[in-house]
Amino acid sequence: MGPGGASTASPWTPSERELERRDVRRRQRRRSLLVATLMTVGVLGLAATAIGTAPGWQRVQETFFSYEDARRAFPAILDGIWLNIRLFLVCQVVILPLALLIAIGRGTRSPWLAPARVVAVVYTDVVRGIPTILLIVLLGFGVPALQLQGLPNDRTFWAGVALVISYSAYVAEVFRAGIESIHPSQVASARALGLGHVATLRHVVVPQAVRRVVPPLLNDFVSLQKDTALVSALGIFEAVYTARDYGNFYFNYTPLVLVAGFFVVMTVPLARLTDWLQRRLAERERAGLR
């Protein structure tokens, strides 16, 4: 009993059986981690031994893993990778709103907006059927050749436009899937509260849809990050073209491996963020949250 006759609850302590369960789970986790570590080290060790003892390893090491060539090409590669990063960031900012507009236009059911729906359907079908590298070549070489007044002739600009056109079609379909995943009761409830079609989209449908499609959107942007290397088809000195130019001059392809490392460093954090968001979304759905 506490002061004034009030009872005070004693702190909960786990039972011996619960402590045993925790100890068993702890030992199982340690054993699983140990086995996984040993298996990983063993497989990697066998692979490294097989590669290192191969007859042509010395030649491969000199051609693809030369420290001297990596050091010599590093400044030019760094300048090139900044162009890839700028292309990625600028294109990403343009793709998101454009793709959302396309998805909304494709999903509209108003007869007054039938032309917008037709244009959105044709746009996504046609653009997704054309390889991205073909769009880059067609726009990068074709539009400057027209010498149109008032339009830039810079190949980098048109390469970025091609990436925006290509990826906006894919991202629009991701947004459309998210919008269509919203239960009709959400729209009905918004209409019952007096919201119009535009207000329902803005305050109810689109916010929920965007939250649901964040992981697949990030996957698309991982691909966009890598596809900025396709602008090398226009002879633009981004990272990949710079590495190829070095290899053609010195007959050493270490810079290509260096560029691959740069792209991995840029891509892995975004991929891990995607995995974390997917796990978080799954946990929220299991908990009944939205």
pLDDT of residue 211: 80
Cα 34 to its chain centre, rounded Å, is 32
Average pLDDT along the chain: 85
Q: Judge whether residue 72 has pLDDT over 80.
A: yes
* Tokens (6 digits) for 82: 């900044």
Please give the pLDDT value at position 47: 86
Share of the chain above pLDDT 70, in %: 94
Q: Could you read off the pLDDT of 202-215 as tens digits, one per residue?
A: 778 888 888 888 88
pLDDT tens per residue, range 167-179? 999 999 999 888 8
Q: Which whole number is the average pLDDT over 226-247?
A: 90
Quick: pLDDT tens for 152-198: 888 999 999 999 999 999 999 999 888 888 888 877 787 787 777 77
At 124, is the pLDDT very low, low, confident or very high (cuts 50, 70, 90)? very high
Contact at 8 Å (CB) between 124 and 173? yes
Which residues are CB-neighbours of 163 under 8 A, at least 6 positions away? 87, 91, 132, 136, 224, 227, 228, 230, 231
Per-residue pLDDT tens over the stretch 259-269: 999 999 888 88
Residues sharing a CB contact under 8 Å with residue 43, sequence separation 6 or more, in sequence order = none
